[in-house]
Amino acid sequence: MPLRVAGLSGFDVDNTVKELMKAQRVKYDALDQKRQTFEWSRDEYRDTNLKLTDYRNNKLFKFRLEGTFNKKEVTVSGDSEAVSAKATASTMNSNVTISVQKLATAASNFSDAEVAKKEFDRTKPLAEQKDNLLNGAPLQTTYKFKINGSEEIVIDTSKESLNDVIAKINQKTNVTAYYDESKRQLSFMAKQTGLVEGLNEGKIDFKDTEGKLLEEVMQIKPDNAKAANDAEVTINGLVTTRTSNTFAVNGIEITLKKAGGTEATIEPKTKVDEVVEAIKTFVTEYNDFLKQTQDKLSEKRNRDYLPLTDAQKETMSEKQIEQWEKLAKSGMLRNDSILANLVTDLRFAVTGTVDTGHSTIKSLASIGIDTGDYTEKGKLVIKDETKLRAAIENNLEAVQTLFTQPISEGEDGAKGGIANRMYARLKDGLDELIEKAGAPNTTSFDQSIVSTRLLEVNKQLDQMDKKLRTMEDNYYKKFAAMEAALNRYNSQSAYLANAFGTGKSQ
């Protein structure tokens, strides 16, 4: 850049150049305002993307799940001490009668006598503790055994303690081992109750394959074996067995607690209030999202408020700039086609019919939910809560399907439940917003439409900026040349004046 020196003639070069450049910068400022508008537009799209994502993932998503609607509770009457019951997501509204003849038990065994002296330390290697063992037999370095046909367990007595042996049994077999310090005996119990796979005649099968660690050191004898039993129950008049004391009937989780044969009745009921509240939440969240989006579509565009130039900002306070830009940013998404189409599709999704398999429950309107008048622009209203409650109490599965029916791959999205239709359409909307303005929280330029336009404008601004700088430098060069000429002229005038003045005085 050439050195710029103010003239000595009294001529204000800087101010003159500034005034001359004002006219030249008009096009640059207009293009820079266009750039700022694109940036604001991009930010609005991305902010809308975040709000849409929040609604889709954090609010709508739960209404695709059966558990949101399948709220059940159970009561137990009759012999309530014999069983307890708990509702699950798959509980059916049908009573279950049950009586318990025998509880399920697990196979077990225990040491026939004390295996160690009081001084025995079960944390130290067995070889170091051999004098504190009571089996009387020499202790081998290596032992191998199996329990219930498990993988072979290898024990190195020079390195491994009784705790290590117990840990291996607990990890590698379907049996739990336990050492009682007070009795100095070991107990073994199958991890599952009932006649499960691996038990020989219902008993734990102990087998020493090298040495006799189980038989001689742990004192395990067949005579102490206690066989497992299946539970014996009568369910809805049918005598049957179960390997566990906890099992499911019609989606009800039942736990047997006491045998005795007295009948208990388990009655499941829908938690109507909870399901009603869930659906009210759906309506509220949908209405909030709809209004938020429609407000953006109808927001006034203040075209008289263009982005401020740097020169304009210099004459304004921070508060004035903030107020101006608030007006300038408004209406960026007014009548946007992506959002307008999304709103239309969502309104169709919530008001359309769904093949629930029920003769009458096929839409929100059929359970008492409809749209308000035309001025409310598709807002949902619970017009008949009594009808909604009756549908939930009497046909919960159909109400659930109305929202949650899945959309199979390659299937028309309209065949899905209301929440799944909306979820799929919102995904399309997100993809369209990203194509338009890029993903949120992205700092670099992408291939989106707005980013591409911004890149083009920025290139034009760079070119114009170089051109203006060159033009400004040329103005300074011209004024510098003018100053030099004026200085020469003034020097010559002074010389001539002095010369002629001197001649007259002589």
426-435: pLDDT as tens digits: 999 999 999 9
Q: pTM for the complete prediction? A: 0.70
Rounded Cα distance between 384 and 368, Å, is: 5
- Bridge partners of residue 155, in order along the sequence: 143
pLDDT at 456 over 90: no
Q: Which of 233-247, 428-442, 464-478 has the highest mean pLDDT?
A: 233-247
pLDDT tens, position by position, 182-224:
999 999 999 999 998 777 889 999 999 999 999 999 999 999 9
**What pLDDT score was predicted for residue 192?**
93
86-109: average pLDDT: 93
Higher pLDDT, 461 or 253: 253
* 282: Cβ contacts below 8 Å, ≥ 6 apart: 63, 403, 419
Residue 138 confidence class, pLDDT cut points 50, 70, 90: confident
Bigger pLDDT: 498 or 157?
Answer: 157
State the pLDDT confidence band at 505, using cuts at 50, 70 and 90.
very low
**Amino acid type, 268:** P
pLDDT computed for residue 13 by the predictor: 72
- Is pLDDT above 80 for 444? no
Please give the pLDDT value at position 283: 97
pLDDT band at 3 (very low <50, low <70, confident <90, very high): very low
269: CB partners within 8 A, 6+ apart: 72, 73, 74, 75, 93
- The answer to whether 69 and 274 are in contact (CB under 8 A) is no
**pLDDT over 90 (residue 25):** no
End-to-end CA distance of the chain: 52
What does the pLDDT average to over 84-106? 92
Condensed to tens digits (0 to 9), the pLDDT of residues 330-353 reads: 999 999 999 999 999 999 999 999
| Ranges 13-27, 91-105, 179-193, 383-397: which has the least confidence | 13-27
pLDDT at 372: 82
Q: Is the pLDDT of residue 485 over 80?
A: no
| Distance (Å, whole) CA 357 – CA 406 | 14
Share of the chain above pLDDT 90, in %: 67
Q: Among 28-32, 255-259, 419-423, name the one with the lowest average pLDDT.
A: 28-32
Mean pLDDT of the chain: 89
Under 8 Å between Cβ of 229 and 202: yes
**Res. 498: pLDDT tops 80:** no
Percent of the chain with pLDDT over 70: 94
Higher pLDDT: 104 or 34? It is 104
Q: How far apart are CA 261 and CA 441, in angstroms?
A: 66
Residues 262, 79 contacting (CB under 8 angstroms): yes
Read off the pLDDT of residues 350-388 as tens digits, 9 standing for 90 and up: 999 999 999 999 999 999 999 988 888 899 999 999 999
With cut-offs at 50, 70 and 90, classify the pLDDT of residue 9.
Answer: low
Residue 502 has what pLDDT? 54
| Rounded Cα gap, residues 454 and 39, in angstroms | 7
Dmax of the chain from CA atoms?
155
Tell me, what's the pLDDT at 5?
A: 47
Asked if pLDDT for residue 170 goes beyond 50, the answer is yes
**pLDDT value, residue 409:** 67
For the segment 458-485, the average pLDDT, to the nearest whole number, is: 80
* Residue 318 binned pLDDT confidence (cut-offs 50, 70, 90): very high
| Residue 184 Cα distances to 115, 116, 136, 162, 168, angstroms | 6, 6, 16, 12, 19
Q: What is the pLDDT of residue 21?
A: 67
